[in-house]
Chain A
């Protein structure tokens, strides 16, 4: 079977105009490798074709078993350790992959570290107490403002200019395309800002904000009908209703939705669209600065993995998590050497995405049966597919207009642009790594099929063709392009997702089994993952009789 032609490939992922520009053969095909979650092992779990043996199973004991070594699982381990389970045999974190970190993982070259996924966290609101404690431990909190928000060390705050936008041959500072904006465009931008500002100032009867990370500190949707209404329509419809038709404004909002949710303006709920902008506005209406590191959020999970130490076991394929009464839970699976292990714990924290948790926890699977439950489940837990390509450059091309920035976005491209790994370390010359992001906004299964239909070489070609639109001389500078295909990259807050989530109440423990993952909030954010990890850990601590004041 013949694969798609280069032009077909580029048309599919970048649009016809890009394909026309780049219709010539690529000048060179840089080397690189393909990274992906361990599909083979993961699918073995899902297809249920490897029955767990009855004999020859090693039995081990621990107090709390954490299944999943992403930000949520590692945060849980971090909290358990602080909460008194400080002996390393008390806690076990079981991670399927060879490296922990989930979608916050990172890579390293002789030049720099670089992200493979999530790459920033806005400076947390005062409500994110646990996250602030973690940052304090990292040594990046220098003080507190009167409202309780942390003062973050200068070296961690994203260096200016944060972002720039490429449009018709020139780079402009910022993400909103000011150049050539009409008075009407600017008036609409002001109106949009006012609307967002209004939501940022919203407080419920208990003084809680509507849009804040973690969402556990936010006003409950059911208590605020206006808030609930935002979940019932798309961001596009919400803008239509307000006469916000300016193409460059809609582009900005669409970009935000694609960037944080992997959804277009038409599919993301208005609640999610507003969250993207309003959650970052602190007191006084100023946008919270971003925290970033050369390896993105890899810095945070690296720290958490260090804290976890021996508790973290990678290469573990967990088969099932089953409660045995109210006081015991049995985790079965294969260790890194492939040996079957039965781990008996007082509590288990399932810190995997929901679609994995359903396969691990039989009780959860049963709970998702029936048409209404299944419909809610699929709306509440929808996942987008992403491609991340890391282009290793021996030198960097020049630019017309704004000379450089951390985040570099192409106005006329469906990609999300690229971040520069060396921006934060101040290395402004010579070799570097660019991390290119692309979210497939199609419906879940379709997006994953498209994702897997293109090879490493083809995705590298798409990435370079996209970058080449803004950087003609790039091709001679590329040393290698590594590609990560994320099948389930992040949860997608479609229209109605909040309501479906509320009906599912997925964070509720099931006996000795607790749940922690960012997708329990319906958003893919480090703040949410951390909060759920800490919450689940505190539930487990209380259950094993270690009552400590909450850090949340």
Chain B
């Protein structure tokens, strides 16, 4: 325990006690400095005093109030909207963001009192530059944080706090700058009127113009640019009060250039042109060498799109993935075989893997996906991690980044055998994908099946693309496997199809294999019902899809054209 009267520090206590109150000159000097701006200071000759503010300058400063008020409100709306896009629950997001923002403005107003004397004008310009920078990059920064940080909310409120505090300083500082020009009564009335008017402009422009025309990222960058322009213009309006303006102008210009560059690069951040293609707001977009990954956020759910094609909606993907995985596992279980070693082809979102990890006896899941960016995202993005239950952190899961077609053909993988192979590829809407549905690849898959091994293939819609569906089934059959086609209703996709296949005979499974978690869509009866196809989904004559004819791509194009 430290003794307060430790003799080694006696003087500290004493000195502290003897420290005098702050001396008057420290608070006097700034007051004088303020006067040096707005009126002739007594100790300076009149010739050196700054002239009184011109009427035009005052009017322009009032116009500045209008502009910064508009900008301030837009930042607030941006943060609220962005938070409700990515997190859902708009009421909570708007309430908390506005609450934090307004209280941060209060904080800023309070902090403005520490700005004294001739630093007022300079600080105002500095605040504008800071608002321009932080507010300008706020939307891209928050989108980035959402995609890559697990503490997105903290980042959100931190950004809101900083912007709010900076914006909160603006009006008090401007009031002080303008106070010599107007009577107090007049000043408060004018400034606040214009401030509230600016809020109206911002709140109307945001939904009518900014969001629909520019989107969140560009709005943020453009509004930041406006603040930077305000900073630049005030270096001119307040040039008499600012001893030197070069440094401020350089900083303001640098921020302006940065934001302008960002605006031109915004296409790559959100690809504004594609926003119209999606029903919901894009919260993440990335162009990889293989595809374009887009995540959108609607009311209470989010969706993953690859090159414009919906891969899942968090609202109903469980129906798809339970139907994809459990019949295969159950077919094994009914034959008295455990499922310990599984190969997943495609499925980089990790949702099929999540289901497979619920098989009690599972030992190893190998996932082969083309795009390392996709599996990386599924591994790191909180939204996806939450959905796939951190599947990629499980030590039983092994990821290979390769084209499944090439991977299966490689000698190095020739000896590997699996109890179940899950082929969860995107639909065959392109020749590069068509090869993943050919007799050739099914021959390879067959070779990679262990004794009694089961293959399951996502096979597009048996209702919307009946020929495509049966073409996949027939192609699997022609590779020497018995097939059992089935379907499931996935509302966001519609009626969806799968093909279960095995060497030798294959009866649809009747009993659902045990899982470590409750199934939401399946029980014994529901699983049996999957194998009942109505008359409008029954087999239709089709050709077999071969590498050298790729008929499936043609069927698929022809059938989906009616719906897309």
Partner of A426, one of B290, B406, B549: B406
- Scan residues 79-105 of chain A and give those whose CB is less than 8 A from a CB of chain B: none
A-B contact pairs, 15 of them (CB 8 A): A154-B440, A154-B546, A154-B548, A155-B547, A159-B435, A160-B547, A160-B548, A161-B431, A161-B550, A403-B430, A425-B406, A428-B403, A428-B432, A429-B290, A429-B432
A470 at the B interface (CB under 8 A): no
Per-position binary interface string of chain B over residues 345-356, scored 1 when its CB falls under 8 Å from any chain A CB and 0 otherwise: 000000000000
Chain A positions 469-518 with a Cβ under 8 Å from a chain B Cβ: none
> Which residues of chain B are within 8 angstroms of A425 by Cβ–Cβ distance?
406, 409
B296 is an interface residue with CB less than 8 A from chain A: no
Q: A425 CA to B290 CA in the complex, in Å?
A: 17
In the complex, how many angstroms separate the beta carbon of A479 from the nearest chain B beta carbon?
Answer: 16
Q: Which residue of B lies closest to A405 (CB)?
A: B431
Contacts of A157 in B (CB 8 A): 546-548
Establish whether residues A427 and B550, one from each chain, have CB atoms under 8 Å apart when the complex forms.
no
Is B370 positioned at the interface, with any CB of A under 8 Å from its CB? Answer: yes
Residue A468 is within 8 A (CB to CB) of chain B in the complex: no
- B289 contacts partner chain A, Cβ-Cβ < 8 Å: yes
Q: Which of B452-476 touch A at CB < 8 Å?
A: none
Cβ–Cβ < 8 Å partners of A427 in chain B: 403, 406
Contact, CB under 8 Å: B431 / A429: no
Q: CA A155 – CA B441 in complex, angstroms? A: 10
If A395-B289, A404-B431, A426-B435 touch, whether A158 touches B403 (CB-CB below 8 Å) is no
CB distance from B435 to the nearest CB of A (A): 5
**Is A289 located at the chain interface by the 8 A CB criterion?**
yes
Given contacts A159-B548, A160-B548, A161-B550, 12 further A-B contacts (CB under 8 A): A154-B438, A154-B439, A155-B440, A155-B547, A158-B548, A159-B435, A161-B431, A403-B430, A426-B406, A428-B432, A428-B435, A430-B289
- Asked if B547 and A154 make an inter-chain contact with CB atoms under 8 angstroms apart, the answer reads yes
B405, CB-defined interface residue at 8 Å: yes
Bound complex: CA of A426 vs CA of B431, how far in Å? 10
Given contacts A155-B440, A428-B403, A403 and B432 within 8 Å (CB-CB):
yes
- 0 or 1 for each of B412-433: is its CB under 8 Å from A? (1 = yes): 0000000000000000001110
Q: List, in ascending order, chain A residues with CB within 8 A of B439's CB.
A: 154
> Is the beta-carbon distance between A429 and B403 smaller than 8 angstroms?
yes
Residues of A within 8 Å of B440, CB to CB, are 154-155
User: Which residues 357-389 of B sit at the A interface, judged by CB distance below 8 A?
Assistant: 370
Least Cβ–Cβ distance between B196 and chain A, in angstroms:
51
Residues on A with C-beta less than 8 A from B435 are 159, 426, 428
Q: A403 touches which one: B403, B405, B431, B438 (CB < 8 A)?
A: B431
Chain A residues near B548 (CB-CB < 8 A)? 154, 157-160, 289
Q: Which residues of A contact B405 (CB under 8 A)?
A: 426
- Chain A residues 421 to 480 lying within 8 A of chain B, measured CB to CB, are 425-430
Closest to B439 in A: A154
Question: How far apart are the CA atoms of A492 and B289 in the complex, in Å?
Answer: 44
What is the minimal beta-carbon distance from A76 to any residue of chain B, in angstroms? 31
How many Å lie between the Cα of A161 and that of B431 in the bound state? 8
Which residue, A159, A395, A403, A427, has most C-beta atoms of chain B within 10 A? Answer: A159
Contacts of A428 in B (CB 8 A): 403, 432, 435
Q: How far is the CA of A16 from the CA of B116 in the complex (A)?
A: 73
CB distance from B440 to the nearest CB of A (A): 5
Taking the closest CB of chain B, its distance from the CB of A68, in whole angstroms, is: 33
Min Cβ gap B551→A in Å is 9
Among residues of B, the one whose C-beta sits closest to the C-beta of A173 is B431
The 8 closest A-B pairs by CB, nearest first: A157-B548, A160-B550, A428-B432, A426-B405, A159-B547, A154-B440, A154-B547, A426-B435
In the complex, the chain A residue whose C-beta lies closest to that of B371 is A429
Q: How many angstroms between the C-alpha atoms of A157 and B432 in the bound complex?
A: 16
Residues of B within 8 A of A155 (CB): 440, 547
* Per-position 1/0 for A131-165, Cβ under 8 A of B: 00000000000000000000000110111110000
Q: How far apart sit A404 and B431, CA to CA, in the bound complex (Å)?
A: 8
A window 409-429: CB within 8 A of B: 425-429
CB-CB < 8 A to A395: which residues of B?
289
CA A504 to CA B406, docked complex, whole Å: 50
Look across to chain A and name the residue whose beta carbon is closest to the beta carbon of B433. A428
- The residue in chain A whose Cβ has the minimal distance to the Cβ of B410 is A425
| Bitwise interface map of A from 167 to 202 toward B, beta carbon under 8 Å scored 1, else 0 | 000000000000000000000000000000000000
Residues of B within 8 A of A161 (CB): 431, 550
Contact B370 A429 (CB under 8 A): yes
Distance of B501 from chain A, by nearest CB (Å): 18
Chain A proximity mask over B118-134: 1 for CB below 8 Å, otherwise 0: 00000000000000000
Which chain A residue shows the least CB distance to B290? Answer: A429
Smallest CB–CB gap between B446 and chain A, Å?
14
Alpha-carbon distance A20/B550, docked complex (angstroms): 39
What chain A residues lie within 8 Å of B550 (beta carbons)? 159-161
Q: How far is the CA of A395 from the CA of B431 in the complex (A)?
A: 18
Q: Is B403 a contact partner of A160 (Cβ separation < 8 A)? A: no
CB distance from B346 to the nearest CB of A (A): 14
**What chain B residues lie within 8 Å of A158 (beta carbons)?**
548
When distances are taken between beta carbons in the complex, the residues of chain A under 8 Å from B434 are: 160
Name the interface residues of A231-268: CB closer than 8 Å to any CB of B: none
Q: Chain A residues with Cβ under 8 A from B431's Cβ?
A: 160-161, 403-404
Report the minimal beta-carbon distance from A444 to chain B, rounded to whole angstroms: 37
Provide the bound-state CA to CA distance between A456 and B290, in Å: 34
Which residues of chain B have C-beta atoms less than 8 A from A159's C-beta? 435, 547-548, 550
Q: Which residues of B contact A429 (CB under 8 A)?
A: 289-290, 370, 403, 432
Q: How far is the CA of A429 from the CA of B290 in the complex (A)?
A: 7
CA distance A157 to B550 in the complex (A): 12
Residue in B409, B431, B549 with the greatest tally of chain A CB atoms within 10 Å: B431
The closest CB in chain A to the CB of B435 belongs to: A426
List of B residues within 8 angstroms of A160 by Cβ: 431, 434, 547-550
Contacts of A404 in B (CB 8 A): 431-432
A67 to B547: give the CA distance in the assembly, Å.
39
A112 → B minimal CB distance (Å):
11
Contacts of B289 in A (CB 8 A): 395, 429-430
Of B290, B432, B546, B548, most A-chain CB atoms within 10 Å: B548
Q: Report the nearest B residue to A159, measured CB to CB.
A: B547
Q: In whole angstroms, what is the CA distance A395 to B405 when docked?
A: 19
CB distance from A121 to the nearest CB of B (A): 14
Q: Which residue of B lies closest to A291 (CB)?
A: B548
Closest chain A residue, CB of each to CB of B434:
A160
Q: Quick one: CB contact mask for B167-204 with A, threshold 8 Å, 1 for yes? A: 00000000000000000000000000000000000000
Chain A residues contacting B290 (CB-CB under 8 Å) are: 429
Report A-chain residues with C-beta under 8 Å of the C-beta of B549: 160
Measured CA separation A155–B405 after assembly (Å): 12
> For the complex, what is the distance from the CA of A160 to the CA of B552, rounded to whole Å?
11
- The answer to whether residues A426 and B403 also contact, given A395-B289, A403-B430 and a CB cut-off of 8 A, is yes
Task: Give the interface centre of A155, A157, A395, A428 by most chain B CB atoms within 10 Å.
Answer: A428
Residue of B nearest to A395 (CB): B289
What is the CB-to-nearest-CB distance from B449 to chain A, in angstroms, rounded to a whole number?
19
Most buried by A among B434, B547, B549, B550: B547
Complex Cα distance, B551 from A160, in Å, reads: 9
| Cβ-closest chain A residue relative to B288 | A429
A404 to B289 alpha-carbon distance, docked (Å): 16
- Residues of B contacting A154 in the complex (Cβ-Cβ under 8 angstroms): 438-440, 546-548
Nearest CB on A from B342, distance (A): 23
Establish whether residues B370 and A426, one from each chain, have CB atoms under 8 Å apart when the complex forms: no
A426 and B405 alpha carbons, distance in the complex (Å):
7
Nearest residue, chain A, Cβ from B440: A154
Q: Please indicate which of the listed interface residues A157, A159, A426 has the most CB atoms of chain B within 10 Å of its own CB.
A: A426
Interface 1/0 per residue, B545-561 and A, CB below 8 Å: 01111100000000000
Inter-chain CA distance A425–B547, complex, in Å, is 11
Q: Which of B528-558 contact A (CB under 8 A)?
A: 546-550
Q: State A355–B118 Cα separation when bound (angstroms).
A: 97
Give Cα distance in the complex from A429 to B435, angstroms: 13
Chain B residue, CB-CB nearest to A430: B289
Q: Residue on A with the closest CB to B438?
A: A154
Say how far A299's CB is from chain B's closest CB, in angstroms.
15
